[in-house]
Structure 1
Amino acid sequence: MNSTTKDDELVLRDVLDRWKAAVDAHEPQEVARLFTEDAVFQGLHPYSVGRPGVAEYYASQPLGMTAAYRILETRRLAGDLVLGYLDAEFTFTDRAPVVVKISVLAKRLEDGWHLAHYQVSRLEQ
């Protein structure tokens, strides 16, 4: 399929709602569990591969940071792979929000959907 579908949005919302909840609660280990063991992760710092890098990244985020997202596009690349493109905003208690675009690749494993790829782009306005 080459367009956004409700089924693909549901797949992404399932994993991204859990990601948001763990980010908002400042639970870096919970965030990391939402990723595959070999996930490629690119936040606003140098990239990492695997859950330890994801946990380290989110542990470094300030307390009180929260995330909001909106799915813009999805593509079903295979039965067990869904690509997503998102608008996201991270808000803080002591500074202006950070608005970014995020690309994710969700992969179905035996225990459900996980993020196999995550890349943030900060577009200059």
Structure 2
Amino acid sequence: MTDLEILHTVLDQWKAGVDAHEPKEVSALFADDAIFQGLHLYGVGPDDVATYYDSQPLGLQASYGVLETRRLADDVILGYVAVDFTFTDRPAISVYLSLIVRQVGDSGQILHYQVSRL
């Protein structure tokens, strides 16, 4: 699989979990020692990721586009992604997401996730 295909596999699963408000499904994509920086929480590991996404409002939806990829090692990919989060009761938020994914077969595991509002 290409780097882009691997990132899409992980991000499609992430998006499905976000859209369905399933924080445990989202957090299952993260390594046990993953560094996570959302817009209002820094944490390490799946439990902190689940706490963050559980606090998100119902109806939150994500759409994304991969802007850049880089292969950092044989099994490690960097992705730079534009993400729009839409809500049922307020304007959308556009952010940029940097993530590092370890390739695991035809999918991947998130090692680092950092959101930025530019």
TM-score computed with the length of structure 2 as normaliser: 0.96
Q: Distance in 1 between matches of 2:106 and 2:84?
A: 29
Q: What amino acid is the match of 1:87? A: A
Q: Distance in 1 between matches of 2:74 and 2:34?
A: 18
* 2:46 aligns with one of 37, 47, 51: 51
Q: What amino acid is the match of 1:114? A: Q
Structure 2: runs of 5 or more not aligned: none
Percent sequence identity is: 56
Shift of 1:112: 4.3
Classify the secondary structure of the residue corresponding to 2:89: coil
* 1:92 aligns with one of 79, 83, 87: 87
Moved over 2 A (4+): 108-112
Classify the secondary structure of the residue corresponding to 1:63: coil
Question: Partner of 2:15 in structure 1?
Answer: 20
Shift of 1:14: 0.5
Classify the secondary structure of the residue corresponding to 1:19: helix
Q: Distance in 2 between matches of 1:108 and 1:21?
A: 19
Question: Partner of 1:114 in structure 2?
Answer: 109
* CA separation of 1:63 and 1:72: change in aligned 2, threshold 3 A: same
Q: What amino acid is the match of 1:85? A: Y
* CA separation of 1:101 and 1:9: change in aligned 2, threshold 3 A: same
How many residue pairs are counted as aligned between the two chains? 118
* 1:70 aligns with one of 65, 69, 86: 65
Q: Distance in 1 between matches of 2:99 and 2:65?
A: 12
Q: Distance in 1 between matches of 2:37 and 2:110?
A: 12
Shift of 1:109: 4.1
Residue pair 2:6, 2:106 contacting (<8 A) in 1 also: no
* CA separation of 1:105 and 1:33: change in aligned 2, threshold 3 A: same
Q: Distance in 2 between matches of 1:72 and 1:109?
A: 22
Question: Partner of 2:25 in structure 1?
Answer: 30
TM-score computed with the length of structure 1 as normaliser: 0.90
